Structure 1
Amino acid sequence: MDRRISGSTQLLGLIGDPVAHSLSPAMHNAALAAMGEDYCYVPFPVAAERLAVAVAGLAAIGVRGFNVTIPHKQAILPLLSQVEARAAAVGAVNTVYALPEGGWGGTNTDIDGFVQPLLGLEKGIPTLILGSGGAARAAIQGCLELGLGPVRVAGRSPEKLRALQQTWPQVETLSWAELDRHLAETRLLVNTTPVGMHKPGSLAELSPLSWEQLRLLPAGATVYDLVYVPDPTPLLRMAAELGHTPIGGLEMLIHQGAKALSLWLGGKPVPVEVMRQAARQQLAQIGDPNS
């Protein structure tokens, strides 16, 4: 569809550093075109030391909303007039919207994106999350909202694990050396670490767990890798070969974007399949990393 910028075109966007690799502009602009909305979604590279002035500038020029990526998901919190409870619990905002009375509101649609591929799972299944960073926090919140559990988190940073347990006392934290003894009962395994991500100089051919560890999972377990480049990741290739159900991280990206776009457009349904096709097409062109 031929899209033209008019005098009434409204702006949406993405702030982060870097943003050149992001799939979000392709996804959102494809959806906006399909919907016939007079909006344009633009990536804005914003260095950490320029965050406050950038957020004020976006308000000054009438931007309707924007996504937030690394390194600003936590740093933006003090700049917002309103933060939704689940975003406050996670300690990160990835979606910002203009408030009617002025100022910005913030939420976390990473949680919505994370849970979407898991909606068919039965409640109360033992879950193990690998990693203790920001992505793990969204995953924990999502798992608890779905009623999964017990939820366990394995990580390498005792400090981060303690922080997770302070936020969610019902979650059991494990050192990396302790995770093997819980694999036999784990029916949902979630990788939130970057191991397996395809980036220059990365450990792209590695998996956070070995073949021998994955064999300890019960038959038909679900293995969810938030990494989406390559697709499938080494972890998901091994999981599929062992008969487990693999889920790639691209679905999380697509659905968090769809939730954000619907929010900015007043709750309108958005064409998720259009966003999926645009994301896959962009991935095929750039062949590289996460947004």
Structure 2
Amino acid sequence: MPARATDARRAAVLGSPIAHSLSPQLHNAAYAALGLHDWTYDRFDIDEAALEGFLAGLGPEWAGLSLTMPLKRAVIPLLDGITDTAASVEAVNTVVLHPDGRKYGDNTDIPGLVAALHERGVEKTDSAAILGAGATASSALAALSRICTGEVVAYVRSEQRADEMRGWGERLGVRVRTADWADAARAFAAPLVISTTPKGGTDHLVAEVPQQVGTLFDVVYDPWPTPLAAAWQQRGGHVLSGLDLLVHQAVFQFEQFTGDRRPVLAAMREAALRALG
């Protein structure tokens, strides 16, 4: 059942550093839009060493936590259980807190990425490419396991990263082929390209964007557009940003924390765009 507006409940995002997080703006905008006036959402700078003590000090008013780096794996031993989705990538970004003290972890980045693609009309693809091989790349692979019917090519910088991506592919049931980062521009021939690199990581590839492109999902959202996204748009391709992922995964968190499934995507997106100016 949805939480009543008279229930004083708390939620927050944890991580270190955390000042940059837009999660408070997103969740508080959703509370305001639905009249959940006694719900509050804050941010706390918590590192791995402080995490166990923070969790132990939470009272019954706490409903949920969002987690960012470096806590997504560190939290797992401190929980009573995690979903299969979180287990598939060994990463938790969502903790649901029950009144009896039980704590359960989930990963909303994966369904969030899928939902963002569905919103833009990408429901299935026969192949895809991933730029990068970090934690976000494993979530991208998990999302592709739900929508990609063929091969995923991961462009990576080292053989160690290549081994990791192939290992994730085997674990997730995705056919993964790895390629050297020096050949990353070849990714642009794929109907769906997911760039998981940090800001500036693909700037050198802009001149190699072809005239015919498919869909680009660039996980950066500030500054936006990235040079790669701008070039992609100029070619008439479909482009999604990290903001699309951010708001969709936050919607899933909101629903788990509150039990309220009324639509909040528009309110969250508006709040994020306002915060980014």
Is 2:31 the partner of 1:35? no
Instruction: Choose from 195, 211, 214 the match for 2:207.
Output: 211
Residues 256, 182 of structure 1: CA spacing in aligned structure 2 closer, same or farther, 3 A cutoff? closer
Please tell me whether the aligned partners of residues 206 and 227 of structure 2 are also in contact (alpha carbons under 8 angstroms): no
How far the C-alpha of 1:250 sits from its partner, in A, is 0.5
| Alignment map for 1:75-154 (pairs within 5 Å) | 75-99=74-98, 102-119=101-118, 120-121=121-122, 123-154=124-155
Please tell me whether the aligned partners of residues 127 and 148 of structure 2 are also in contact (alpha carbons under 8 angstroms): no
CA distance in 2, matches of 1:172, 1:78: 32
Q: Which residue of 1 aligns with 2:178?
A: 173
Please tell me whether the aligned partners of residues 128 and 189 of structure 1 are also in contact (alpha carbons under 8 angstroms): yes
Aligned residues: 266
| Percent identity (aligned) | 36
**Quick check: 61-70 or 25-34, which moved more?**
61-70
SS in 1 for 2:14: strand
| Alignment map for 1:140-289 (pairs within 5 Å) | 140-169=141-170, 170-181=175-186, 183-184=188-189, 186-196=190-200, 207=203, 209-212=205-208, 214-215=209-210, 219-284=212-277
Please tell me whether the aligned partners of residues 132 and 154 of structure 2 are also in contact (alpha carbons under 8 angstroms): yes
Please tell me whether the aligned partners of residues 15 and 43 of structure 1 are also in contact (alpha carbons under 8 angstroms): yes
CA distance in 1, matches of 2:261, 2:104: 19
CA distance in 1, matches of 2:95, 2:236: 40
How far the C-alpha of 1:224 sits from its partner, in A, is 1.1
Q: Which residue of 1 aligns with 2:45?
A: 45
Q: Which runs of 5+ in 2 are unaligned?
A: none
Q: Which runs of 5+ in 1 are unaligned?
A: 1-5, 197-202, 285-291
SS in 1 for 2:198: coil
CA distance in 1, matches of 2:123, 2:114: 13
SS in 1 for 2:203: coil
Residues 122, 274 of structure 1: CA spacing in aligned structure 2 closer, same or farther, 3 A cutoff? closer
How far the C-alpha of 1:94 sits from its partner, in A, is 0.5
SS in 1 for 2:17: coil
SS in 2 for 1:123: coil
How far the C-alpha of 1:238 sits from its partner, in A, is 0.7
- What TM-score, normalized to structure 2? 0.89
CA distance in 2, matches of 1:255, 1:39: 20
CA-based RMSD of the aligned residues comes to: 2.1
Please tell me whether the aligned partners of residues 191 and 208 of structure 1 are also in contact (alpha carbons under 8 angstroms): no
Please tell me whether the aligned partners of residues 123 and 149 of structure 1 are also in contact (alpha carbons under 8 angstroms): no
